[in-house]
Amino acid sequence: MPEQTLIGAIRDGLACALAADPRVVVMGEDVGRVGGVFRATEGLQERFGAERVVDTPLAESGIAGTAIGMAAYGLRPVAEMQFMGFVLPAVDQIVSHAARLRARTHGRFTAPLVIRTPYGGLIRAPELHSESLEAFFCHLPGVKVACPSTPRDAKGLLLAAIADPDPVIFMEPMRLYRSVREDVPAESFTVPLGPARIARPGRDVSVIAWGAMVPAALRAAADVAGDGIEAEVIDLRTLTPLDEASLADSVRRTGRAVVVHEGVRTGGFGAEVAARIAEAAFLYLQAPVARVTAPDAPYPPFLLEDRFVPQPADVAAAIRSVVAF
């Protein structure tokens, strides 16, 4: 198994899908000749041709609308939006058409498409490049949302998303693109959409995170281990569908929960996770569920990013607080 970065695993997953299925088409701004803004598609147009790896105009609504039409026709489009903040012009297409096509046609048509979108902060990018907007799409029935934190999961989840019969928003944490490495199978494989992963077992508190917050949670867990606190870190991997069974099982064992995410606090997906925990494990809780999130403010200039995005020290402080409650 070759060692891969997260961005390399995504590129490898796209190549596997293109090679295995002639219906797969990769499309987006600069994905062909340039290889994408982060080089996720580098070399794919030369290998598979300009009809399979398609450079599009700078028009996110047009990219999404074209992908929906291609999916309804029977293709498997994988559309790249350069940054999550740029997805907003395409929201009408995603909400009004991609998410509803199966229900609207009583199952006669589906929209098997993937929208890949880099997201997240601490990369010193300008405005609209660092948003974490997963809560928008998790609120949308008919759409699945996946968010890997490791190279292996990035490839496996992406291939599962491409094979899925319904639309998938595939969130890619930019901060992890080249900062993490692990062995990834060279062959095609899938990581099922839905099941969470226990990234670190523990008995005292459940720390739930996804994307770039998983490494932050793991560093916090290592920090509090010096205090004798054994924190269990759960990597959700898929936000919708949500693995409620794994959440309930973990919290029933630990009696405490901390939810960590980059999105702002109010209406963030962490509130939904906390609600599901309360519904499934309320009588097991020994402390209120804590949330570690970004503040309710627009994403700041890059000089203030370190105060805006949750840090391992913030997570460690929340862990200590719920354990001491």
CA torsion 314→242→100→57, rounded to 10°?
50
Q: Is 129 an annotated catalytic residue?
A: yes
Cα–Cα distance measured from residue 39 to residue 22, given in angstroms and rounded to the nearest whole number: 22
**Which residue, chain included where needed, has tokens 């990013």?**
305
Of the candidates 64, 60, 55, which has an alpha carbon nearest to the alpha carbon of residue 31? 55
Contact by Cβ (8 Å): 94, 137: yes
Kindly name the residue from 97, 106, 129, 261 that is annotated as catalytic.
Answer: 129
CA distances from 220 to 121, 126, 139, 169, 315 (A): 18, 28, 29, 28, 6
Cα–Cα distance measured from residue 143 to residue 95, given in angstroms and rounded to the nearest whole number: 9
Of the candidates 192, 209, 190, 187, which has an alpha carbon nearest to the alpha carbon of residue 200? 209
Amino acid symbol at 277: I
Cα–Cα distance measured from residue 146 to residue 133, given in angstroms and rounded to the nearest whole number: 12
Active site residues: 129
